[in-house]
A and B are shown apart, each in its own frame.
Chain A
Amino acid sequence: MYGTRLRALSIATLLTLAGGFALAAFYAPEDADQGFMQKILYLHVPMAIVALCGFVFGAVCAIQHLRTGASRWDLRSYVAIHMSLIFGAGVLVTGSIWARASWGHWWVWDEPTLVSFLIVFLLYATYQPLRFSIEDRDKQSRYASVFAITAGAFVPLNFLAVRLAQTYTHPRVFATTDGGLEPRMKLAFYVCLLGMALLYATLWKYEMASKNTSAQIKALRRRLAGDEPPGPRRSAAPKLESA
């Protein structure tokens, strides 16, 4: 079910992302303030936006799971949060590199978006340990969904609060890059954003297909051999109830 259109999606992702990066590298002009370093933001900001949308998407899937009780919504939520967490790690690393390039420190508290992101990341990092530590499968899914919804509601609040808390000793760089974006920069940025969103969608589908296949293989094994495959329970992912 998830493998359909995956090839078309991957090709679209490849073209858009490569195109976006090429635009960023060759077409978009250098930023007046930051110079060449600003080019990192064509990677860092789209990743951040997509990761956050992914967390919200995970919350929406969780709402659906609580409403319908179908385990596939729980799996969708899990994969969405898992992917966003990986993207989030990338955001923090690239953000740190950018901070080092801009201000000479590997971490700065002055960039509110980055700080908010760290907090969100710390929160969602507890998602898998939470799942792992609840043994009852049903309860685990439900509690994970409750967590996903709470955390999803938390994300915008967090960004609001951290942004308001800034003491404006450093000018907010995202304001100057976003507000003062030239049309050529804007084009490159939006293409990168689209490419990153497509990448997320592709990887999400990829992961869903993988989990689906794994579940089907297990079900098949149970039917043919009558036993579960050996080995410890390796992931906190929910198991699909239908084969």
Chain B
Amino acid sequence: MRQAVNAVLRRDLRVETRTPQVVPGMALFSISAFVVFHFALQQRSVEGNLAAGVLWVTLLLAAVLGIARQFVADREEGGFEGFLLAPVDRTAMLVAKAASLFIFLVALELVAVPAFLLMLLGPSPVEVWRLLLALLLADLGIAFVGTLVGALAVQSRARDLLVPLLALPLLVPLLIGAVKLSAPVFGGPVAAARWPWVLALYDLVFGLVAYAVFDFLLED
């Protein structure tokens, strides 16, 4: 099973590194979004809760872009059929896709978060570990939910519409947790100690749900 996961994961990563589409797209989107926020909010800098909100909304919307692209190549070029023919556990595709989405998100954040700190953030960030923890937990949750939603939507005719419509409500609890957890970094109020646990619970629940139902999405 690990071999299958590795194989699919390496393929996805290789495709992305050869013709970078998803990560540059997400990164460019984030930076454009920061510009848009600057003009929309009419503020030179943001801080506290507002800063956390701007950052996480941007990350979330960029992630939605990535989710929409995830399974398109598999669908159009027969990746699903090829995978189904191989004698491997179907969960391998879930793990591989979630892992690749996670990696893409980390790559995105390597660009977007410094950009945010440079462009929009007013005060210097403090207790950065909170932000890192929030990013880690959130990326995990987005990876699970995103893979599920991406697989659901890819078979439909309206997949560009469906992905944001499905993903955004599903990701709201994650957004709440991430914002609460990272707001102190930007000068916002200190969050209760429960938020990392809420995020972890979210990741656990959706990881289990994805594990339970993903097979049914691959049947032909």
Identify which of A135, A149, A164 contacts B198 (C-beta below 8 A). A164
Identify which of A143, A147, A157 contacts B205 (C-beta below 8 A). A157
Identify which of B161, B201, B216 contacts A142 (C-beta below 8 A). B216
Identify which of A122, A129, A157, A164 contacts B162 (C-beta below 8 A). A129
Is A161 a contact partner of B176 (Cβ separation < 8 A)? yes
- Interface presence of A243 (CB below 8 A): no
- Interface presence of B157 (CB below 8 A): yes
Contacts of A66 in B (CB 8 A): 213, 216
Contacts of A151 in B (CB 8 A): 170
The residues in B between 135 and 186 inclusive whose CB is less than 8 angstroms from any CB of A are 148, 152-153, 155-159, 161-162, 165-166, 168-170, 172-173, 176-177, 180
Is A147 a contact partner of B152 (Cβ separation < 8 A)? yes
Contacts of A147 in B (CB 8 A): 152, 166
Is B213 a contact partner of A154 (Cβ separation < 8 A)? no
Closest B-chain residue to A121, C-beta based?
A: B169
- Interface presence of A212 (CB below 8 A): no
- Interface presence of A133 (CB below 8 A): yes
Complex Cα gap A165–B212 (Å)? 29
The residues in A between 112 and 149 inclusive whose CB is less than 8 angstroms from any CB of B are 119-120, 122-123, 126, 129-130, 133-136, 139, 142-143, 145-147, 149
- Interface presence of A15 (CB below 8 A): no
Identify which of B158, B168, B201 contacts A133 (C-beta below 8 A). B158
Known: A146-B217, A149-B213. A122 touches B155 (CB 8 A): no
CB distance from B111 to the nearest CB of A (A): 28
Is A133 a contact partner of B194 (Cβ separation < 8 A)? no
Contacts of A119 in B (CB 8 A): 169, 172
The residues in B between 84 and 143 inclusive whose CB is less than 8 angstroms from any CB of A are none
Complex Cα gap A229–B201 (Å)? 50
Closest A-chain residue to B145, C-beta based?
A: A150
The residues in A between 43 and 69 inclusive whose CB is less than 8 angstroms from any CB of B are 66
CB distance from A193 to the nearest CB of B (A): 26
Is B217 a contact partner of A123 (Cβ separation < 8 A)? no
- Interface presence of A181 (CB below 8 A): no
CB distance from B34 to the nearest CB of A (A): 24
Complex Cα gap A116–B153 (Å)? 24
Max count, chain B CB within 10 A of own CB: residue among A129, A135, A136: A129
Interface size on A, residues (CB 8 A): 30
- Interface presence of B219 (CB below 8 A): yes
Complex Cα gap A157–B206 (Å)? 10
Complex Cα gap A122–B166 (Å)? 9
CB distance from B137 to the nearest CB of A (A): 13
Identify which of A120, A122, A130, A142 contacts B156 (C-beta below 8 A). A130
Known: A123-B170, A126-B162, A133-B162. A150 touches B209 (CB 8 A): yes
Closest B-chain residue to A142, C-beta based?
A: B216
Interface of chain A, helix or strand or loop or mixed? Answer: helix
Is B180 a contact partner of A143 (Cβ separation < 8 A)? no
Contacts of B177 in A (CB 8 A): 161
Is A158 a contact partner of B217 (Cβ separation < 8 A)? no
CB distance from A20 to the nearest CB of B (A): 32
Complex Cα gap A93–B206 (Å)? 30
- Interface presence of A37 (CB below 8 A): no
Is A160 a contact partner of B198 (Cβ separation < 8 A)? yes
Contacts of B176 in A (CB 8 A): 161-162, 164-165
Is B173 a contact partner of A162 (Cβ separation < 8 A)? yes
Closest B-chain residue to A123, C-beta based?
A: B169
Is B169 a contact partner of A122 (Cβ separation < 8 A)? yes
Complex Cα gap A163–B38 (Å)? 31
Complex Cα gap A115–B155 (Å)? 31
Contacts of A134 in B (CB 8 A): 155-157
- Interface presence of A153 (CB below 8 A): yes
Contacts of B198 in A (CB 8 A): 160-161, 164
> Could you write out 28 A-B pairs with CB less than 8 Å apart?
A66-B216, A123-B166, A123-B169, A126-B165, A129-B165, A130-B153, A133-B156, A134-B155, A134-B156, A139-B155, A143-B152, A143-B155, A143-B217, A146-B152, A147-B166, A150-B206, A151-B170, A153-B209, A154-B173, A157-B173, A157-B201, A158-B173, A161-B177, A162-B172, A164-B194, A164-B195, A164-B198, A165-B180
Known pairs A161-B172, A161-B176, A162-B172. 6 more at Cβ < 8 A? A122-B168, A134-B155, A139-B155, A150-B206, A151-B170, A160-B198
